[in-house]
Amino acid sequence: MPRIQQIIDALEALAPPALQEDYDNSGLLVGEPQGNVEKVLVSLDVTEEVVAEAKARGAGLIVSHHPILFRPLKRITGKNQVERTIMAALREGVALYAIHTNLDNVAHGVNAMMCRKLGLEGMRVLRPVGGTLAKVVTFVPHAHADAVRNAMFEAGGGQIGAYDECSFNQQGTGTFRAGAGAQPFVGEPGARHSEEETAIEMVVERWNVRRVVAAMHRAHPYEEVAHDVLLLDNAHPTAGSGGVGSFAEPMEWDAFVSKVKSAFGAPAVRHTAPPKGPIQKVALCGGTGSFLLADAIRSGADVFLSSDFKYHEFFGAEGRITIADIGHAEAEGGISQWLVDQLAELKSGFPNFAVLLSEVRTNPIYVS
């Protein structure tokens, strides 16, 4: 059976923790990473009922989208739902892991799931995130440039949007003088040496920099490897908030509403005035999305599909876009099944491992 840490590694490969928002608290919240589990229960939220379900079904780990803990607890006395849930998890020996805004902010995560449900094509990130990229530069003897470059690629370097193995290479002359006790790959200690070298530079996601630099060092022939790590302000083309895509064929408003209700199990859609013409382009955001309204308008979308809009925020549409609010749990409801499908791939290495979808309703909102 897998260790909890192995499951965490698989989840964080899907959604790096570095992409979570500052206010968020994704990660392992309760439990020991070295513990073993035979079953994992996946749920949108964690409640006392979900913990009881995990215990009854033999699951030692609950993976939820929403973290049960957003703020530090000074004491745990069972006075509210959060404290009682934590107490239940500790009492029953059930670990809790949350994968929240980091899953919102990867291109294949929550918003991609919503696009698939609607049948949208050509999805792109609505608001790409900045401050997540770096450039790694190193200098290699010509004969070893391919080996070093390939090692960096294999470690995850050189990925830009839909392209990989991206690098820039320039030839030049490097100089160095090895000191006493050094064992230079070329040249002699105490004498300046000139070597024809290739400068290799490539973009690397910041959370991959250590891995790429380590791979570069292992493949590089020099005893001391000269390299630069430059932090970039460039927006990440495939990471950020929200998404936008288009229907293959335009859709009338009534048909769109019917499709949304069916795809997301939404009992109702709160919205501003419908578009005057057919709907082609749709911007969307799983969960709370009002902060992206201006981005949705700039994208040229006909409709912005999200949730948690307050009364006065609907005025922000200003007749330039139709806001469609389907409810928080409805917008993100399909992500639990998607996580089940992703974690099920671990079964090949662990034949007795099972991933379960929670059967407990956690949405506290009812529509009558």
What is the mean pLDDT of each successive set of 10 residues along the chain, which is 368 residues long? 93 95 96 95 98 98 97 94 97 98 95 97 96 97 98 97 96 96 94 97 97 98 97 94 98 98 97 97 97 98 98 98 98 94 83 92 95
Whether 4-102+334-357 and 110-127+240-326 share one fold: the answer is: yes
Give, in degrees to the nearest 5, the angle at Cα 46 between 40 and 49: 90
The CATH number given to 110-127+240-326 is 3.40.1390.30
Region of residue 355 (phi > 0: left; psi between -120 and 50: alpha; otherwise: beta): beta
Rounded (5°) CA angle 16-242-8? 20
Alpha helix segments (H runs only) across the chain: 4-14, 48-57, 81-92, 101-104, 110-118, 145-154, 209-219, 253-264, 293-298, 328-332, 335-343
Q: Where are the domains of the chain?
A: 4-102+334-357, 110-127+240-326, 133-232
pLDDT at residue 345 in the model: 82
Chain segment 50-106, per-residue pLDDT in tens:
999 999 999 999 999 999 999 889 999 999 999 999 999 999 999 999 999 999 999
CATH architecture of the domain covering 4-102+334-357: 3-Layer(aba) Sandwich (3.40)
**Can you tell me the distance from the alpha carbon of 195 to that of 159, in angstroms, rounded to the nearest whole number?**
29
What is the per-residue pLDDT for 33?
96
pLDDT of residue 351: 78
Indicate the DSSP class of residue 70. Answer: S
The whole-angstrom separation of Cα 45 and Cα 26 is 12
Q: Quote the pLDDT of residue 88.
A: 98
**Structure-block tokens of residue 76:** 């745990």
Domain 133-232: which CATH class? alpha beta
What is the pLDDT at residue 347? 76
pLDDT digits (tens, 9 = 90+) for 99-123: 999 999 999 999 999 999 999 999 9
- Residue 134 CB coordination number (10 Å): 22
Q: Quick one: pLDDT at residue 333?
A: 87
- The predicted pLDDT at position 127 comes to 97
Rounded to the nearest 5 degrees, what angle is found at the Cα of 103, between the Cα atoms of 97 and 104? 130
Q: According to the model, what pLDDT value does residue 352 have?
A: 82
pLDDT of residue 243: 97
Residue 349 has what pLDDT? 76
